[in-house]
């Protein structure tokens, strides 16, 4: 009996591909090419499910072109703004994601960005690697402490709460803005603000952890930055389109903001090149979930969704 066909649109970790090949007739992408919409439609012919990444835009137009054999589209990510879920649902296709898979790894990266930005990590690395370090001085590359400062978390979901947990150990006071206030037991002393403006006003460090949506696009714009305390630090591990690059760059140049730590960028990997000339930016290439354990977990959860749908069960993480 022929095995179900799963179209895997990007090269995935070896353990994930091994499981896919074990359980399915897996169409793998050994070259890790980013497929066009036409190639995605062609690759889906005869497939029972698609295992995609955020690089694949599953638009309503593409969903309409998928063959009737496709029963599931499972993404190797928590974010699902690249999938037209309503269009999938209308075709009877289950769309699913991997919530919680990257919480710990992304929260760790947020702390790395905070520390790198606050302690001038990029400048320090450059000094050492360029042979410009001539010895200790009392004023060399002075950063700022965390103790007594206020961390504002925009988006207190799984990752936001994990960031808060880590930040408390550094002596930061936690403030947050969320669509709804957390139960007192989950707040653990964090101070709720019912408006983003209220949060911005008290954020010596602002960590962006909210989901990307039409409402949050460019939420950190010039007006929002003006509400931050002078010398604030901005950290973004969510999505690049939530930041108005021109406004953030201007604030970093002017000294309104002390520094920024960024793991995500609008239009990545083609980021705004003005960031590259700023010594007060600590930049990473979207490494939030980049650990062996996390990427394996993401792949296994994506396959769990496909397993369930093709076996006639509800997907554990259907959208």
Return d(Cα 101, Cα 13) in angstroms, integer: 15
For residue 191, the model assigns a pLDDT of 98
CB atoms within 10 A of CB 279: 11
Active site residues: 239, 268, 286
Return d(Cα 36, Cα 57) in angstroms, integer: 9
What are the tens digits of pLDDT across the range 214-270? 889 999 999 999 999 999 999 999 999 999 999 999 999 999 999 999 999 999 999
Q: What is the mean pLDDT of the chain?
A: 97
What are the tens digits of pLDDT across the range 73-82? 999 999 899 9
For residue 2, the model assigns a pLDDT of 87
Antiparallel, parallel or unpaired: β 94-96 and 72-75: parallel
- Domains and their CATH numbers in the chain: 5-101+292-310 (3.40.50.720), 103-283 (3.40.50.720)
Question: Do the Cβ atoms of 140 and 194 come closer than 8 Å?
Answer: no
């Amino acid at each position: 009996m022929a095995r179900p066909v799963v179209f895997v649109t990007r090269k995935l970790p070896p353990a994930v591909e091994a499981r896919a090949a074990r359980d399915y007739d897996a169409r793998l992408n050994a070259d890790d090419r980013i497929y066009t919409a036409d190639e995605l439609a062609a690759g889906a012919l005869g497939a029972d499910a698609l295992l995609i990444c955020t690089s694949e835009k599953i638009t309503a137009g593409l969903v309409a072109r998928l063959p009737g054999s496709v029963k599931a589209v499972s993404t190797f990510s928590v974010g699902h703004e690249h999938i037209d879920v309503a269009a999938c649902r209308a075709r009877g296709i289950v769309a699913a994601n991997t919530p919680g898979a990257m919480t710990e790894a992304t929260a760790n990266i947020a702390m790395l960005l905070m520390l790198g930005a606050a302690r001038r990590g990029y400048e320090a690395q450059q000094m050492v690697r360029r042979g410009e370090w001539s010895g200790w001085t009392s004023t060399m590359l002075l950063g700022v402490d965390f103790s007594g400062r206020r961390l504002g978390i925009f988006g207190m979901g799984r990752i936001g709460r994990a960031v808060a947990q880590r930040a408390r150990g550094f002596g930061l006071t936690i403030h947050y803005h969320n669509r709804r206030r957390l139960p007192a037991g989950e707040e653990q002393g964090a101070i709720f603000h019912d408006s983003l403006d209220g949060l911005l006003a008290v954020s010596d460090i602002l960590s962006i952890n909210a989901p990307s949506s039409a409402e949050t696009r460019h939420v950190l714009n010039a007006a929002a930055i003006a509400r931050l305390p002078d010398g604030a630090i901005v950290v973004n591990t969510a999505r690049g389109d939530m930041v108005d690059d021109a406004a953030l760059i201007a604030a970093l140049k002017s000294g309104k903001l002390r520094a920024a730590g960024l793991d995500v960028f609008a239009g990545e990997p083609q980021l705004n090149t003005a960031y590259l000339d700023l010594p007060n930016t600590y930049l990473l290439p979207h490494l939030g979930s980049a650990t062996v354990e996390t990427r394996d977990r993401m792949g296994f959860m994506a396959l769990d969704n496909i397993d369930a749908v093709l076996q006639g069960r509800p997907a554990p993480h259907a959208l």
